[in-house]
Structures are given as structure tokens and as C-alpha cells.
Chains A and B, each alone.
Chain A
Amino acid sequence: MAFHKINVTINDDLEQVVVPSNMTLMHMLRESLALTGTKNGCSAGECGACTVLLNGEPVNSCMVLAVECDGAKIVTVEGLAGKKQLDPIQEAIVQEGGVQCGFCTPGILISSHALLKRNPNPSEDEIREALVGNLCRCTGYVRIIESVKVAARMQSVTT
């Protein structure tokens, strides 16, 4: 199997990585770069634990080949916070108790962050729809949905 050398920007750092054809973006992040914030819950696009931003849009990183990311910009949960402070959605989910075991949390944060970027003031229905691919077994989602609403309010105050 061939290996490919790719250049990819991850959380603002330019990385050069050598990846085999069949390596997924999720595996590259977790195994090659030890960015283990991105979680593996199913490897099949179903659970959302592996969600990252690929060129600004959320994807299931288990459903993307690493080699496809040559030249791309990736943001993982590790890159969500600014230098000094957490992203509003991180702040909100802590405050609202939307984290329990935390395994779904990285994916939930990325999906929510992306939702708030494309729709700064989402309705309850829009939040539920945006998170439908991020399974959480612990919280029952109520506090997560609330967190997104709170983050939206936080953002509207700061901007």
C-alpha cells in the first residue's frame, strides 16, 4: 500500500504527515499526531464523537481519508479555545452541566460551534437538528441543547 506525504494545518499548526491510503483523518489525528481529543466511538459515521472541522465545516473524521486532507485546514476540540479563554460553547456547556462522561463532548462542541457560526441565533429545533448526528448516552441532551442557547447569547453579547 502506498504512503502519501501530506501538508495539513491543524489548529493553526502546519504539519507534514506521511499517511497510508487507508488511514482515516480520525486515525491520523489520534495515532499519528496524538491529538486524542477527537474520539472514536464507531468508525462508521454514526456517533459523531470524531467530529472535527475540515475547512471550516464539520465532518465525521472517521469518514474522511487522511490523504484527502492534503492542503486542508483542520480544527479539533484541542483548537477550539482561544489562547486565553474558552470558546463560548465550551464555557456554556461547563456552566450548564452538559458534560458527563465527556466522550461525546468533543464532537458535540465542534458541531455546536459550527452551528453557531452559520446560524448565530438558532432555534430549539435547529439545535436539535444540528446535533442529531452526535450521540450522547449520558445527558439526555437537554443540558446540551440549553448550552447551545446559552452560548448563542454569550456570543451575541460579545459581538
Chain B
Amino acid sequence: MTMNTHPSLPEFEYVQPATLAEACEFLASHAVEARPFLGGTDVFVRMRDGFLTPQFLVDVKNLKGLNDLHFDPKAGLTLGAAVNMNRVIASPEVKAYYPLLAEACRSVASYPLRTRATIVGNICNASPAGDTIGACLTLDGVLHIHGINGPRQESMASFFLGPGKTTLKLGDVVTAIHFPIPPKGCVGMYLKLGRNQLSDLSIVGVTALGYPDSNCKSGYRFRLALASVAPVPLVPTQAETYLANHSITPESVHEAARLSTDACSPIDDVRGSARYRKQMARNLSAKALAEVWKKLN
């Protein structure tokens, strides 16, 4: 329990850099005292609770290009870091090509909160419960990052190191996330189990994506990502491999669900017990896979 929650935000300086380079420089030269923010929906809460005590909040959302949502039928989708979740949900291109992304965004908090909350913020916050991370993982999202040494790209798959920990370095600003055109015929789904029907953080969340793939023995490739069951957003690769190599039947789906459960290392916390989380990882994986399979046919 946090006993020292502040009535409102503690003191800090608001910094609005004019350029990306300026932002990176400021962040790099202020090490621990400065922190970038977009919607602030994680940062503010953690500052109020006393977990974060930055002296400077660097507002990166108005930097050039960070609000762009760009779709190219060949190259795919680029979401500027500051594009909020409601814009993602409302985008016709997202609806048409990346419905899983919209579904994941819709599961986050409430409409007013999503006016501010961003996918990139969700990713950088690196909570194992982050609801949009599974979609970004399974859709092969790539982060565009600007650091003191200029721009670089980093794949989602290797980004998370632990709760709240990522490969981001001092001075790094994520500028966008890019998604390739999803595989033909792909079907995705996000099953989120919270305490309430909607709006809660997940006790367990399961993202599943499937598509026809002639390289696989089963003829299909399935991608899975699990939320709130491990220190980082979890990709149960063994389950994915199993399904690639076995024909898809109710039994193989159950076996894959079991394998993804085996990969989990959940904890007991206020939201749920490890025992329940394991059970739900299995049931929801099975359900998500079965539903996706149904839609693939």
C-alpha cells in the first residue's frame, strides 16, 4: 500500500523541446531527473504515488511527425508515438488491416483516458499487463527510436527486459511504431480477463493471431502473447512452434494452451493468484486459439 499518495502532482519543470535532437539532448544530459512523456497516463499516476520523482517532464508529443498516422498498402502502418488510442481505433486503415490493434486499444481503460493514452506509452511503460503490447508483438511491430546517436529501429520481440525495464537508453525517444502489412488472411483476437467486464487492468490477457502459412506443417502459423503472467509480456514460443508442426485439432489446440501455460511464471498479487492466473492462461489461450481457428475456416 502506498501511504504517501500526493493529493496532486508533486513539483517538476515542464519542458517542451522544439526538436527531436533537442529532446534527446536534454534527456541525455539530465539522466535520472528527466523523463519523456506522451499522454502521461502512466507517468502522472506514478508521480502521484511517489514511485517516480522526475525533476523534468519532457513533453515529446508535439514534436514533428509524432502525431502522424500513415498507412501505405505496401510498407504498412506507421503510428507516430503520440497518436492516441482513440485515433488508432477510429482509423479506417487500422480497422481494415489491423483490427487486432484496434481491439487491443479498445480494451484499455475508458474513452476519455484513451484520448491521452498511447500505444508507444503503453509499450515504453513495459508493464506485463500492458494491453496493446500483445497485438504489437504478434503484428511484428518495430519501434523507431531517436537517440543521441541518431535514429535506429528495434523490434518489439527483444525490447522488454523486466517489469518497467526496456532496452531504451538514456536520451532515447521512441518516435513511432511501424507494422508491416499483416500476413494474408490473418485473424487476430485479444481476450482480456479483468475483474470488471471492461476498463480494468488484466488479470490475464491473451493475444492470438493466426494465418495460413504453407511453410508450416499444419498449414497455419499461430502467434501468441500473454499479459500479466510473467515479468515481461510473454511470447510462448513452444506453443507457437507446436501448432506450426501439428495439424490443428481441438487436441492440438489444448496442447498448445498447456504449453503456453507452462511458459508462464505468474505471481500472487491484489488482482489474482498465481494459481488462478495459470488456469486462466490455459483456458483463455485455448479459447483464443479456437476462436481464431474458427474464423480462419
Contacts and interface: CB of A to CB of B under 8 A. Distances in A.
Task: Tell whether any CB of A sits under 8 Å from a CB of B in the complex.
Answer: yes
Interface of A: 1-2, 4, 20-24, 27, 43-45, 48, 51, 54, 57-60, 63-65, 67-68, 111, 114-115, 128-130, 132-134
B116 A60 contact: yes
16 contacts: A21-B12, A43-B7, A44-B45, A44-B48, A57-B115, A58-B111, A59-B112, A59-B115, A63-B40, A64-B40, A65-B14, A111-B112, A115-B111, A132-B110, A132-B198, A133-B112
B38 to A, nearest CB: 11
Interface string B141-184: 00000000000000000000000000000000000000000000
Contacts, number: 83
B296 interface: no
Nearest to B196: A132
Given A22-B14, A57-B86, 13 more contacts: A4-B14, A21-B13, A43-B48, A45-B41, A54-B115, A59-B115, A65-B40, A68-B59, A128-B198, A129-B106, A130-B111, A132-B111, A133-B111
* Max chain B Cβ within 10 angstroms of own Cβ: one of A45, A65, A133: A45
Interface of B: 7-14, 39-41, 44-45, 48, 57, 59, 86, 106, 109-113, 115-116, 196, 198-199
Contact of A45 (B10, B14, B45, B198): B45
Contact of B12 (A1, A60, A111): A1
B14 A60 contact: no
A80 B81 CA distance: 32
B198 A63 contact: no
